[in-house]
Amino acid sequence: MHIQIRPVITALRRHKAGTLLIALQIALTLAIVCNALFIIHQRLANLSATSGVDEANVFVIANMWADLGQPTERIDVQVRADLLALRQLPAVRDAAPASGYPLRGGGWDNFVTMTPEQTKPTTDAAVYTGDEHFIDTLGLRLVAGRNFRPDEVMVMGTQQAITPPTVIVSKVLADRLFPDGNALGKSFYAMGATPSTIVGIVDPLHRQGVDQWSNGYAGQALIWPMRADDSRGIYYIVRAKPGQLADAMREAPKALYAQSRLRIIEPKDGIQDYAAIRHKVYDRDRGMAILMSVISVVLLAITAAGIVGLTSFWVGQRRKQIGVRRALGARQCDILAYFLTENFLISATGVLLGAVLAIAFNLWTVTRFEMSHMSMAYVGIGVVVLLLLGQAAVLAPALRASRVSPVEATRSV
């Protein structure tokens, strides 16, 4: 079976409008689908991001004070009493105060510099505050150095700015600041002119936020030994004993209200386990992945339908020509190969243009929305998918064309 390309190209020139329409449709579909696949992969990768937390056993209580404007000393007394009550519950392993927690969806972060005079930041780090129980409560893995000592834990009231002299950092942040791998005992600046000396390193530790802008700082976080006694409220992070999460979540609010009724814990979102926290923070990513998947499927279906429709129309127009070729000895496989080749040339033109559009669109999103650069692998996958889709779509009308009888050559139009 031998197909000459020149007659195919000549035929396409006689149908410029239809050829151009399908080629442009393939190009636009490829450009959109490639970028959609890239976005879907990114969003799905976010859903499975490691937080560093013992998520199966940890939950968070958002505690708001009903008596606003309390002095810091009074709040701190209440916070310590609350923590003692939580830690004494039979189902609880440990508890810690916090100003935020991994995967919260947003929170405190600071630019980090190596010197107080530095104007351009070295990087950006999520900031967590907690006492000597913070690491164990979250289930973080201390890979180097030590935990905080009780005497190092400071108290920070509302609208106060305190920089503790010691800090525990994530390994990603330690490697970013000190690439030689010798971060313990080194200092940096995260707020003001007071340095913080690294006494411990944990790995991993996710940031509080999951926004697109923070991808460049993924995994960079620090922990200060501090109870942030805000007069508006505080987070209590609680780690249950294995298999006792439900019991701990049920008993923890009772223990807190037994200490003081002057607090507000919302019945719906005031207490959340990490399954709910993760589901909530990644709801937008999940929705985006579903939307991009639907758009991709619809575009591919429309493109396939367009190829089927155009080829069927051409087959209807060429029935007599096909019959003549059959009468002159062309086999069914020759007719089939002709239409497959014709469609391949259209598809190849479309994917070449689509590849350029896909790269251009990605570069636009990078500059406009701070997205990452798309790997060429997505373009390659898209090209293969569109070429295979085109050949599959044209197969049915091409088979119909191959079954045209030589008798068609003798029929008048």
Provide the residue count of the chain: 413
- pLDDT average, residue stretch 237-246: 97
Cis peptide before 164 (omega within 30 of 0): no
321, 315 in Cβ contact below 8 A?
no
Q: Where in the chain are the domains?
A: 5-47+284-410, 67-261
| Complete DSSP assignment for 10-21 | HHHHTTHHHHHH
Listed range (195-199, 204-208, 223-227, 281-285) with the worst mean pLDDT? 281-285
* DSSP-derived secondary structure letter, 264: E
Residues 6+ apart with CB under 8 A from 255: 82, 85, 86, 88, 89
Given a cut of 90, whether residue 11 has pLDDT beyond it is no
What is the rounded CA–CA span in Å between residue 223 and residue 170?
A: 8
What is the rounded CA–CA span in Å between residue 324 and residue 258?
A: 94
62, 388 in Cβ contact below 8 A?
no
**What pLDDT score was predicted for residue 345?**
85
* DSSP-derived secondary structure letter, 160: -
pLDDT tens digits, 181-191: 889 999 999 97
What is the rounded CA–CA span in Å between residue 282 and residue 291?
A: 14
Residues 6+ apart with CB under 8 A from 136: 93, 94, 96, 147, 239
Q: In the chain, pLDDT over 90 holds for what percent of residues?
A: 60
The CA angle 48-51-52, to the nearest 5 degrees, is 130
Listed range (102-116, 198-212, 287-301, 388-402) with the worst mean pLDDT? 388-402
Three-state secondary structure readout of 304-349: HHHHHHHHHHHHHHCHHHHHHHHHCCCCHHHHHHHHHHHHHHHHHH
Q: Which two tokens stand for residue 95?
A: 């508890």
Q: Which two tokens stand for residue 211?
A: 């926004």
Given a cut of 70, whether residue 413 has pLDDT beyond it is no
Beta bridge partners, 125, equal 110
pLDDT tens digits, 363-384: 888 887 767 788 899 999 999 9
What is the rounded CA–CA span in Å between residue 52 and residue 33?
A: 33
Nearest Cα neighbor of 96 from 163, 147, 165 is 147
